[in-house]
Every structure is written in C-alpha cells, then in structure tokens.
Amino acid sequence: MSTPSAQLETTATTADTETDRQLATGAEIFIRSLEAEGVEYVFGHPGGAIISIYDEMHRIKPSFQHILVRHEQGGTHAAEGYAKATGKVGTVLVTSGPGATNTVTGIADAYMDSIPMVVFTGQVPTHLIGNDAFQECDTIGVTRSITKHSFLVRDVRELAATVKKAYHIASTGRPGPVVVDLPKDVLAARAPFHYPETTSIRGYSVVGKGNQEQVRKAAQMIAEAHRPLFYVGGGTIISGGSQKLTELARRTKIPVTTTLHGLGAFPETDPLSVGMLGMHGTYFANMAVQNTDLLIAVGARFDDRVTGKIEAWAPHARIIHIDIDPACISKNVPVDCPILGDVAQVLDQLDPLIEPAEHDEWLAQIDVWKRECPMDFRRDGKLRPQEVIRALRDHTRGEAVVVTDVGQNQMWGAQFYSYVHPRSHITSGGLGTMGFSLPAAMGAALGLRGQNRDVISINGDGGVMMNIQELGVAAAHGLPLKIVILNNGYLGMVRQWQELFHQERYSHTHLEPTNPDFVRLAEAFGCVGLRCTDPADIQDTIEAAWAVTDRPVVMEFRVVTEEKVFPMVPAGAATDNMITAQFSPEDCA
Amino acid sequence: MKATSTTETQTGAPTVPAPGFTPQQLFRKQAAGEALSPNGEDNVHRHVLTVLIDNTIGALNRVANLFSQRGFNLESVTVGEAKDPAHRRLTLVTTGNDRIIAQVLRQLSGLIDTIEVDDLTDEDHVERELCLVKVRCAAADRAALLAIVEVFRANVVNITPDSLTFEVTGPTAKVNAFIGVMKDYDLREVARSGRVAMRRRLAFEH
Ligand SMILES: Cc1ncc(C[n+]2csc(CCOP(=O)(O)OP(=O)(O)O)c2C)c(N)n1
Ligand SMILES: [Mg+2]
C-alpha cells in the first residue's frame, strides 16, 4: 500500500520541478518580452523592487543593451531623445518609490510632446500595496494625468501580454508615455512565457485615412484661397509625412511655417519656408499667419505659445486642421474643416485633388516682410550666441541632430540652425523641461550609433546642471557628443522677462556665483572641455571639438549676458504685436 | 493688421457682436458656442452622458481624473455593473458650452478604457434619480406628512419614533421638487444617487 503512494509522490515532485523548469519567472518573462519587442536600449537604474530583473539580466545576457543612467530623470529624457531621433519607442526601467517619482518629469515631458515611451516601475509586493511599505508609492495614481495609459500587473500570467499592449499603445495613434507597474512578487512568480504577436484593445482604435468628403472639402478650400499657408507641427514628422508635405507645398507654391516641433518637416532653406511661428517665431511667419486667408494646420495643436492672444490670431483665415488626435481638433480654435486621420495618409489623399497653383502676389508680400525684418544679430566683436549656432550649422552643413535645452539657448537653437531634415531637431517643447538636452542627446546618439550623424547638445549654464550627472554615462559609452554650453551667467530667459517686463529687477537669476568651471567639470567626467570667449575663436573651438571622436566634448561659450531672443510676442499679446530686434541693419553683415 | 468690423448690424439687440471682429473670428466664436457680444450669455448647457468602460482597476479613476485634469465640470456620476459584468456603465452630468462638451466627449472617447461614449441630452431618453430623505417628525404629525409625500409617490422606507425616511424616484426635477417641499418640514438628511439615464430606442449592443 505504501509503495504506490510513495511512487506517486516521487512522480509528483519530478513533474513539479519539470514544469518549474519550463515556467519562467516574471523577471525572465519581462526580459524575454522586451527582446521579443525588439528593444535596443533600456535606460535603467536598479533598486530593491526590481533586483530580480537585474539578476536575470546578469544571467541571460539579453539582446538589448542596458544603459545605467545616474538619475532616473536622465533615463526618461534619454529614452525620449532615443525615441525622437529614431521614431522607435524608448524604454525605461526603474525601481519603486523614489525611482518611480524621479521619472515623473520625463513622463510629463513625453506626454506633452507625444513621445512614445514605456516606463517600467518596480512596485512593492501586491499584498503590501496600500500599506505604506518601504519604498512604496502609488505610481499609477501619481502618473495618471501624465500618461497615455498605465497598467498595474497583478498576475504574472498577464505580464507578457501587458508589455505588448504597452508598446502598442505608446507607439500608435498620437504616441505617448505608458507606465507599467511591476510588483515584486509578480516578478518572482512563474508562468509559461508566450509573447503575443498582436494585440487588440477594445476601447482603442487608431485612425488612418481621413474622411474623403472632408478631404474633398479641404481641396476645394485650397483651390479658393488667395493667401494660403501651411502651419506644420510635430505630428507631421511623427507620421512620416514630411516628404509628402514638402512635395505638396512646392507643387502648390504654398508657403510653410512650422512650430518648434515641426522644425525639419520642411527644409528651412527653401524659399517657401517662413521659419518658425509663435512667441519667438520670425516676424515674417507671424505676419503671414495674421494675413493668410487659409491656414492649413498639419499635425499641430494650436498651442498658446503659437497663437498668443487667441481671439486676435489668424483673424482672416479659414482653417483646415489635419490631426490624428480627435481631442486636438477645435480644442483651442474651432476650425472650418477638421480632418481626423494620420497626417501622411491624409496628405496622400489630398495630393491628387490639388492642382498646382501660383500665389505670386502673396509670396511677393512675404518677401517684403522677409526683407523688413530678417533673422539676424549684431556683430560687434562680442561673442553672441546666435553666431555660435550659425557657426555650428555651417560646420555641419545643417546635417547634425541638434538637441536643445530650455530657455534662450533653445530659441537661438531653433532660430539660427536652419533645419532641413525631419527628426534633426529635438527639444522639450510642451513641458519646457530644463535639463532635457544632455540626456536626450545621449539617447539620440545611442539610437543613431553607426549612422555617422553628429549629435549636438545645446544648453544654457542653468539647465545643463540639472542632469549633468549623465555626462559620465555618455563618456563611459564613448559617445562623441558635441555639448555646447551658451554660458551667459544667468537664467537667461527669465532674466529677459525681468529686463523687459519687470523693470530690470534681476531677482535670483544670476548664476555666476554658483556656476562651476565647466571645462574642469567636463574633464572630471572623462570628457574633453573647451572654452571660448572671443568670436574670433569660435571656428577653432568647433574644429578642435570635432577632432575628438571617442568621447564627449563640452564647449563652453562665454556669451553676452544682455543678449535677448527676438522677435518676441509678449505673453497674451496678438502675434503681430512683436518686439523685434533693436540692432540697426548696419551692424549686421 | 487691423481687423475689419462686424458682419452684420442688428438693431437694439443685446446680441450685437462686439466690433472689431472679422467674419472668420465671428464664425469661430459661434462655433465655440461663445457669446458674440461682450456681455452676452455663454451658451452653457447641462449634458447627460453615458459611458461604458472596462471593469478594470483604475478605469473609473481615469474617467473621474479626466474631469479635474482638464477643468471640466462634473455634477454627478453614477456607476454600476453593465449588462456584461466585464463592463461598467457610468452616467455623468456635466455642464459647458458646445465647445467644452465636444471636448469632454472627445477626451472621454480618447481614454483607453472607454468603450462607448454617448451624449443623451438631445436624444429621446429616460432619466431617473433615486433619493432618500430623512425628516424629523413626531408621531402626532406623521399623518399630515404622509399625505403630502403621497402626492410625490414617495415610499416610506423607515419609521422611528421621531423620524420618517422616504424614498423618491423620478426625473431630477421631481426629486428637486420633493426636497423643496420637505424643506418646509424638519428636513435632516438627503442622499441622492445622481442620475442614471438611457436612450429609449436600442442604441447600444452592450
Ligand atoms: C525644470 C525647470 N525649472 C524652471 C524653468 C523655468 N525656466 C525657463 S527658462 C529658464 C532659464 C534657463 O537658464 P539657462 O539654462 O541658463 O538658459 P538660458 O535661458 O540662459 O539660455 C528657467 C529657469 C524650467 N523651464 N524648467
Ligand atoms: Mg544661461
């Protein structure tokens, strides 16, 4: 009697260990899922809640590369930079509690700028959730209003399918960040690994083509217009519609203005380009907007930095709005002809319905505005930031990927580089996050590795300090980043507002007393440091920087403190109410 | 550029558009449901929406959060299991002008958890609200009070020596009227369910 039962027991045990061997832990399933998703880089930082994932990574040697960032915020911006430069989804892995809260700024940034990113956060074991356990944070709650969607994985059997859904949601439609919260016990539990090939989500569908009737109406409006203008935003680049847009604009002779995120969607070297519009847009772009009779908004969202005083904006224009996000349509400005759809596909639909046209009078008027107030700067022997940007453009023939930070440096970077390729300009537009550029440039450089593209990071002396720790990471990976610091000794953009609108009360914007020696700082992180204080040396500095190919170079330019960003539409003013530069034309070459 | 003046002049009306708007600007204001004259009324209306969501953790939070995140009004929410236990049906009451309501609908549809969003306001629909009302009432006064609530077809759901609790169900206006009348007595407590609503004809498959 005892023998069969003993036998039974043994078989049971062997069967158990066998299935155990076939079953994978949540940590392994996680890694296998990222591999199956084709992830190239994981920007991560370990901690207790996700230590099992790091342990599995050590054992498995996964097909993706893990980049150990030095602050989780840096990790999120690196993932954003990677995503913006490549069009692929950025991946971040952090621990629970402080690891998760450190990603909040980057998640909010990605949400505002429609950047595809999946952030995996550790979480305390499910039975401790809600108990204020060590390093617990309600990550889903904290990130709810800054994510496209979020998941808390409660069962290891749902892990792989959830990863699949997360990447699908992040990358389709209007892209955005997705948070996946991973409790520690789920990572330890076992399940068979199966990565689904496809996923379908009940309440989520992605629009493609636009309504043909609306497209026809738009074509009719374009045919009737005398002073049409394309207003092109980042959605055009995301959808891969830049090429089509460029062809269409050239064929129909319709001038093009772009938003900050639209830079590169249409070559700024083309005579039809009027450059960037909005608060720090060109005089001629803003004048064109105020006088156009048909504004064709393509993947743009009528942001307040673009429209200024909204009632006064584009007062004569009928508006066509092509966008993939229904919530963007008529959010800020009601439009005459909304077309919901993927920009590239809608442009394809529109193309055959539009006849080539001439708008000579309109283009001549734009030329007058271009001559009235060109984009230029004073050349008086002092080191001006605009001259640095122009020199960088000339040196790279406009072919580099430029990642700017936030502030004056961002606006000069936008105004003076002349972007000709989509995805060649990366910045934090919606949230305006200081400290974005350095880690984002690092992510971009990793994403573009082996493609022989220069990546330039443009910073102010304020913002660069906000994620300076990532300099060591860029150095460790031998990334030949060209890091520019336009050191004006101030929180320059705030200083500009204080000068113009607060009677020169420079309250707490002076940085010189707390600024480090940037050259020595660069060297301490294993980078090359260069300093330039004279416009005569700009060229030599740039050449010296480009001679370095095995590590990052930091170029500090000591620029004129008083330099301001012009034109400028004061906040809340009508966009034709611009403050323009106050230098006389004789000063300009 | 100076904007051209108004499209049309109406006589003596408070709705004369503010001068200085182009036809395009007027079109946009109208499309947004905004007032055309500086002191005119914004066309704010109350809307009843039903929303079908997945019965998953956090789905209800996301819907509620949307209203605070986007600054929309939320007057009432009711939630309960739908026909299919995997879903829940919400009835939301919100206010806003046409532009804002359109935004509410688009934003709600944009949530990954929402399956259907329907604005019932201008559709043929039924609406009900349930309300519990507790009134302090001595035994001697009961009969008088019971006669009044009879008119509203309110049910007595509890009696204590010094109180009566009524249940009244009906359109919101009826509930309001009932509470109004009860205020003439020693009204102590009100608990309202918020509205639930449904189209009269078959609209949803769920
Ligand atoms: C994290 C964060 N804090 C504060 C601000 C507000 N802000 C916008 S621009 C700016 C000044 C930036 O100074 P700096 O980095 O030196 O750039 P500059 O304007 O001088 O080129 C500040 C403080 C911000 N955008 N982000
Ligand atoms: Mg500065």
Q: Which residues line ligand 1 (CB under 6 A)?
A: A 405-409, 432-434, 460-463, 486, 488, 490-494
Mean pLDDT over A386-399 rounds to: 98
Q: Which residue has the tokens 């020693």?
A: B186
**Containing H/E element for B60?**
helix B59-70
Amino acid B11: pLDDT: 37
Mean pLDDT within A398-410? 98
Please indicate, yes or no, whether residues B85 and B135 belong to a single structural domain of this protein. Answer: no
Q: List the structure tokens of A82.
A: 């990677």
* Same domain (yes/no): B146, B195: yes
- From the CA of A469, how far away is ligand 2's center (Å)? 18
Burial class of A456 by CB neighbour count within 10 A (0 to 12, 13 to 18, 19+): buried
In this structure, the answer to whether residues B59 and B105 fall within a common structural domain is yes
Count of domains in chain B?
2
Asked, for residue B14, whether it belongs to a domain, the answer is no
Fold of the A385-566 domain: Rossmann fold (3.40.50)
Counting beta carbons within 10 angstroms of the beta carbon of residue A360, is it exposed (0 to 12), middle (13 to 18) or buried (19 or more)? exposed
pLDDT in tens, A436-469: 999 999 999 999 999 999 999 999 999 999 999 9
- The answer for B 34-63 residues in CB contact with A (under 8 A) is 53-54, 57-58, 61-62
Q: How far is A585 from A564, CA to CA, in rounded Å?
A: 17
Same domain as B191, residue B138: yes
**Looking at the predicted structure, is the pLDDT value of residue A258 above 70?**
yes
Using alpha carbons, list the distances in angstroms from residue A128 to A96, A155, A528, B83: 13, 15, 48, 33
Helix (H) or strand (E) holding A459: strand A455-460
- Find, among A204, A155, A143, A145, the residue nearest to A179 by Cα: A143
Residue A435 scores a pLDDT above 60: yes
Residue B177 domain flag: yes
Instruction: Flag whether the pTM goes above 0.90.
Output: yes
- CATH code of B152's domain: 3.30.70.1150
Backbone angles phi, psi at B203, to 5 degrees: -125, -45
Instruction: Kindly give the distance from the C-alpha atom of residue A261 to the centroid of ligand 2, in angstroms, as a whole number.
Output: 22
B107, B154: one domain = no
pLDDT per residue over A104-150, tens digit each? Answer: 999 999 999 999 999 999 999 999 999 999 999 999 999 999 999 99
Write down the architecture of domain A212-372 according to CATH.
Answer: 3-Layer(aba) Sandwich (3.40)
The pLDDT tens digits along chain B (206 residues) read 333 333 333 333 344 455 678 999 988 888 887 777 766 667 889 999 999 999 988 899 999 999 999 999 999 999 999 999 999 999 999 999 888 999 999 999 999 999 999 999 999 999 999 999 999 999 999 999 999 999 999 999 999 999 999 999 999 999 999 999 999 999 999 999 999 999 998 865 54
8 Å CB contact between A80 and A110: yes
Is the pLDDT reported for residue A157 higher than 90? yes
CA angle in degrees (0–180, nearest 5) for A201-A204-A206: 120
Q: Comparing C-alpha atoms, which of A69, A64, A171, A164 is closest to residue A117?
A: A171
Helix axis angle, A343-350 to A212-224, nearest 10°: 60
Strand order in the sheet with A482-487: A425-426, A401-404, A455-460, A482-487, A553-558, A528-532
Three-class DSSP category at B79: strand
Q: What pLDDT score does B8 carry?
A: 34
pLDDT at residue A13 greater than cutoff 50: no
- Which of A71, A102, A491 should be mutated for ligand 1, with most atoms under 8 A from CB? A491
Please give the pLDDT value at position B14.
40
The length of chain A, given as a count of residues? 589
Residue A10 predicted with pLDDT over 80: no
Q: B-chain residues within 8 Å CB-CB of A310?
A: none
- For residue A116, give Cα distances in angstroms to A55, A102, A149, A171, A232: 27, 18, 12, 5, 20
Regarding whether B119 and B49 lie in a shared domain, the answer is yes
Please tell me whether the interface predicted TM-score (ipTM) of this complex is above 0.95: no
pLDDT at A203: 85
- Written as six digits, the tokens of B126 are 């039924």
Fold of the A22-191 domain: Rossmann fold (3.40.50)
What pLDDT sits at residue A8? 42
Cβ atoms A256, A249 nearer than 8 A: yes
Residues in A closer than 8 angstroms to B61, CB to CB, are 141, 144
**Domain regions of chain A by residue span:** 22-191, 212-372, 385-566
Reply yes or no on whether the pLDDT at A198 is more than 70: yes
Q: Check whether A2 has a pLDDT greater than 60.
A: no
Give the 3-state secondary structure of residue A223.
helix
- Which residue among B123, B153, B188 closes a domain? B123
Q: What is the mean pLDDT of residues A306-328?
A: 94
CATH (domain of B117): 3.30.70.260
Around ion ligand 2, residues with a beta carbon closer than 5 Å are: A 460-462, 488, 492
What are the DSSP E strand ranges found in chain B?
A: 45-54, 76-81, 87-96, 114-119, 125-136, 155-160, 163-170, 186-199
Range of the domain at B184: 126-199
Query: Which pLDDT value is given to residue B42?
Result: 72
Provide the pLDDT for residue B20. 79
Say how many Å lie between the CA of residue A491 and the centre of ligand 2: 4
Encoded tokens for B147? 């006669």
Question: Do A22-191 and A212-372 have matching folds?
Answer: yes
Kindly identify the ligand whose nearest atom is closest to the C-alpha of A437: 1
